[in-house]
Amino acid sequence: MTRLTNANLERLAPEITTPRYDRGGVSAGIVHIGVGGFHRAHQAMYVDELMNRGEALDWGIVGVGVMPGDRRMQQALAAQDHLYTVVVKHPDGRREARVVGAMLDYLFAPEDPEAVIERMADPAIRIVSLTVTEGGYNFHPVSGEFDLDNPDVQHDLDEPSLSRTSFGLVIEALARRRARGITPFTVMSCDNIQGNGDVARKMFTAFARARDAELGAWVETEVPFPNSMVDRITPVTTPADIDELADRFAVEDAWPVVCEPFTQWVLEDHFVAGRPAFEQAGVQLVEDVVPYELMKLRLLNAGHQALAYFGYLAGYEYAHEASADPLIVDFLLGYMTHEATPTLAILPGVDLDDYRRTLITRFANPEVRDTLARLCAESSDRIPKWLVPVIRHQLDSGGDIHRCAAVVASWARYAEGVDEKGAPIQVVDRLKDELMAIAARNHDQPTAFIENRELFGDLAENDRFREAYLEALNRLHREGAKATLTALVAG
């Protein structure tokens, strides 16, 4: 067994791909906030790919953890010189193991916010990237406005040098760069939010403006926030994944990351102080990412929601198990083809039928073992952004909404917290208590769930949506998930 460290790279098994560059000659150019499995299997991997080609050696990554739970990741990576293994799981059982060396450091903001701020204020840092999840942008789910009443936001406005949030840290770093006459960095969101760069611009600018009007105006005009579309299924790393890496490749890695073979990144080419040559690593650099983004959000991400609650209620644990059920596949393809696709623009060179079928193949990869519980988590940050826009478009255009309404009903049924066999469901959501309290009224007040205007606006007042929702919810209660799917597939 070989412990993963710089000193041990040459001792690793030959079938493991290792950095082909001298990490000692790499300097930092990117600070990334929110280091999780996705960032490590996606953006950091692309930078590492460039470094293996002898490029981007001045674009090393400094990770930043803002949440208390990030301390574990910081400690695990620091102990192995910030190296980690990406394990690609192929459907046929093959494994590809690759050590990524693009991350040079990891700073834990709650321990030393000043170190994080000064690192970002360093002229060498030209990009600050983000994967802070949908809930990390601090905006109201219906109004979309920045929540200035957040206690941590108020703290950061009062104590900029002791910031707790990504907003406080980033804006204080930008304020220092402005005061020192240093070009600002680009803020590059890589989260699954429609118009992620636009959302980041709005939220960070709102925070900056609340702190100082001139600073806010400067951020709005001088700091680029490119939109991006990112895609790679990256399930949570389990103890079994760590053990398998040790057994198959004799590597001791405290926190590897596992992922599917597929990866995609579409990025608007709007940067103020340069960027790595991402296109050489397969990134699509475009002027407008929105059409690609909507394709992914409404087919893949919303498709995951269509799969997750029905699959869980039907008794499945993993995405690949649910995706092997022809009934669920028919329902998924029906949603994608008849409800989501009509909301999308034509993309030259993109075969949407092939894309839809590829998604089913990806969902059905038995080696990824993506849990339905993970896909069901944080629904209040997902359904309003990914599925509700499809519903509204279809209502406005007279299109079909029965499957969309059924997905919302399956979420409402899931939020009751008890499955069809009476076993408890561990609901994970920032609004868990509120949602479960509303869902508890599903039998006595069937429209209670969709009357939550913060999540659904006025959808409950639309007769066509309300009737389709109630039909699905009532059938879920009377007959269960599979019978409901059978009726939906039958039309």
Spatial separation of the C-alpha atoms in residues 226 and 325, rounded to whole Å = 39
The whole-angstrom distance between residue 112's C-alpha and the CA centroid of its chain comes to: 26
Over its C-alpha atoms, the chain yields an Rg (Å, rounded) of 23
What are the Cα distances from residue 170, in Å, to 35, 104, 129, 230, 231? Answer: 16, 20, 10, 22, 25
Q: CB–CB of 409/472 below 8 Å?
A: yes
Q: Strand, coil or helix: what is 251? A: strand
pLDDT given for residue 140 in this prediction: 77
Amino acid identity of residue 207, one-letter, is F
- CB-count exposure of residue 484 (10 Å: 0-12, 13-18, 19+): buried
pLDDT given for residue 350 in this prediction: 82
Spatial separation of the C-alpha atoms in residues 339 and 404, rounded to whole Å = 7
- 332: which residues sit within 8 A by CB, 6+ positions away? 303, 306, 307, 323, 360, 363
Please name the residue that has the structure tokens 């400094």.
Answer: 62
The model scores a pTM over 0.85: no
Here the tokens at position 327 are 């009934």
Spatial separation of the C-alpha atoms in residues 71 and 281, rounded to whole Å = 31
The domains found in the chain, sorted by start residue, are 2-286 (3.40.50.720), 290-490 (1.10.1040.10)
| Angle formed at CA 319 by CA 313 and CA 320, multiple of 5 degrees | 125
pLDDT given for residue 141 in this prediction: 65
Please name the residue that has the structure tokens 């394709």.
Answer: 295
pLDDT given for residue 134 in this prediction: 81
- Residues across the chain: 491
Amino acid identity of residue 245, one-letter, is L
Element housing 104 (H / E): strand 103-108
Spatial separation of the C-alpha atoms in residues 390 and 298, rounded to whole Å = 7
Per the rule left: phi > 0, alpha: psi between -120 and 50, beta: everything else, 398 is: left
Q: CB–CB of 489/334 below 8 Å?
A: yes
- CB-count exposure of residue 1 (10 Å: 0-12, 13-18, 19+): exposed
The whole-angstrom distance between residue 412's C-alpha and the CA centroid of its chain comes to: 22
Cα end-to-end distance, the chain, whole Å: 56
Amino acid identity of residue 464, one-letter, is R
Here the tokens at position 477 are 């209660």
- CB-count exposure of residue 474 (10 Å: 0-12, 13-18, 19+): middle
Chunked into runs of 10 residues, the chain (491 residues) has average pLDDT values of 97 97 98 98 98 98 97 97 98 96 98 98 98 90 84 97 98 98 98 91 98 98 97 93 97 97 95 98 92 92 97 97 97 98 86 94 92 95 94 98 98 98 96 97 97 96 98 98 97 83
Q: Strand, coil or helix: what is 424? A: strand
Q: CB–CB of 63/103 below 8 Å?
A: yes
Amino acid identity of residue 370, one-letter, is D
Here the tokens at position 388 are 């509700």
